[in-house]
Amino acid sequence: MTKPNLGTLIIIGGHEDKAGDRVILNEVARRARDDGGRLVVVTAATQLPEEVAEDYRAAFGDLGIKHIDMLDVRTRAEAHEAALVDKVKAARVIFFTGGDQLRITSQLGDSPLFQALLETYHTGGTLVGTSAGAAAMPGTMLISGPSDASSKLPSLGMAPGLGLMPDAVIDSHFAERGRIGRLLGAVAQNPRNLGIGIDEDTAIVVERGICFDVIGSGAVYVVDGSDISYSSLCETDADGVISIDDVRLHVLGTGDQYDLIARRPVR
């Protein structure tokens, strides 16, 4: 079987700048211009699709994108509609907005629309997600859990994601909502998964599933549990804090690069 020519994932921590320097949206727009000038914005995650669509239509219009298709999926049946699938097939850059990540996976998962998205990615296209759109990208998806608190197993909600980064779990609005505790807890549940926390107005640009670069105004936190020597996950009582020994943490800023294969920053 021929190995797919994986494209690019741009995974944003939410609240990306839409009016100032717009570093992240400029990167998305550049890729859309280079790939034919067409962009699809998927508003399936939000309960306010018209308002969100208008915000992105204005932002990307200001950045010179002339062909912007809005794609809203309210029901799973719509993810089977040929007209919506054709919109995805016509674009090489597809952008998932914020909202509720479970709406993305439950409405789109393994549908003809999702298969078209996957084909775009597997043939060198670019998929972008912000906030809930970011959380839905990996194989394991964080869907709930308190911020500003140490991790307790019953407090974490996890679900299968879209699988575009198979061995990862991603949390957005990271520093702003104090989410280090819940990301550590998510990694402790399966140390094979690399935990990636992304601040607002910050993104990772993942090339071919091999490495990522950091862009934007904040930080990216990488939690690597591969050397964890002990966790109390199976021992703690229902109300206990999860204890973890020998977890590795990297903090990366704009311009930094991380090797996903070696699990090391590139210096």
Per-residue pLDDT of the chain (267 residues; tens, 9 = 90+): 345 689 999 999 999 999 889 999 999 999 999 878 899 999 999 999 999 999 999 999 999 998 999 999 999 999 999 999 999 999 999 999 999 999 999 999 999 999 999 999 999 999 999 999 999 999 999 988 766 656 565 567 889 999 999 999 999 999 999 999 899 989 999 999 999 999 999 999 999 999 999 999 999 999 999 999 998 887 756 567 888 999 999 999 999 999 999 999 998
Record the pTM.
Answer: 0.94
Q: How far apart are CA 42 and CA 52, in angstroms?
A: 10
The whole-number pLDDT of residue 28 equals 97
Is residue 264 in some structural domain? Answer: no
Whole-number Å distance between alpha carbons of 24 and 22: 6
> Is 173 known to be catalytic?
yes
Range of 39's domain?
8-256
Structure tokens at 88: 């995805």
pLDDT of residue 157: 86
Strands 264-266 and 257-259: antiparallel
Say if 57 falls within a structural domain: yes
237 Cβ neighbours under 8 A, 6+ residues apart: none
Q: Which of 126, 174, 108, 110 is nearest to 147 (CA)?
A: 174
End-to-end CA gap in the chain: 35
For residue 34, what pLDDT is reported? 86
The token duo for 82 is 């040929």
**pLDDT of the residue at 115:** 97
- Of residues 111, 131, 151, 172, which has the active-site annotation? 131
Answer whether residue 266 is part of any domain: no
Residue 68 counted as domain residue: yes
Phi, psi of 181 (to 5 degrees): -60, -45
The catalytic residue among 27, 111, 200, 231 is 200
Query: Which residue is it, tokens 């509720």?
Result: 100
Q: Output the pLDDT for position 149.
A: 59
pLDDT of residue 236: 56
User: Looking at the domain assignment, is residue 170 inside a domain?
Assistant: yes
The region, left, alpha or beta by phi > 0 then psi within -120 to 50, assigned to residue 188 is: alpha
CATH number at residue 109: 3.40.50.880
Q: Is residue 1 part of a domain?
A: no
Residue 2 forms part of a structural domain: no
d(CA 28, CA 51): 20
Residue 93 placed within a domain: yes
- Predicted confidence at residue 2, as pLDDT, reads 46
CA distance 203 to 220: 8
Give the pLDDT confidence score for residue 147 in this predicted structure. Answer: 65
**Alpha carbon distance 131, 181 (integer Å):** 18
In three-state form (DSSP H/G/I as H, E/B as E, the rest C), the secondary structure along the chain is CCCCECCEEEEECCCCCCCCCCHHHHHHHHHHHHCCCEEEEECCCCCCHHHHHHHHHHHHHHCCCCEEEEECCCCHHHHHCHHHHHHHHCCCEEEECCCCHHHHHHHHCCCHHHHHHHHHHHECCEEEEECHHHHCCEEEEEEECCCCCCCCHHHCEEEECCCCEEEEEEECCCCCCCCHHHHHHHHHHCCCCEEEEECCCEEEEEECCCEEEEEECCCEEEEECCCCCEECCCCCCCCCCCCEECCEEEEECCCCEEECCCCEEEC
Question: How many structural domains is the chain composed of?
Answer: 1
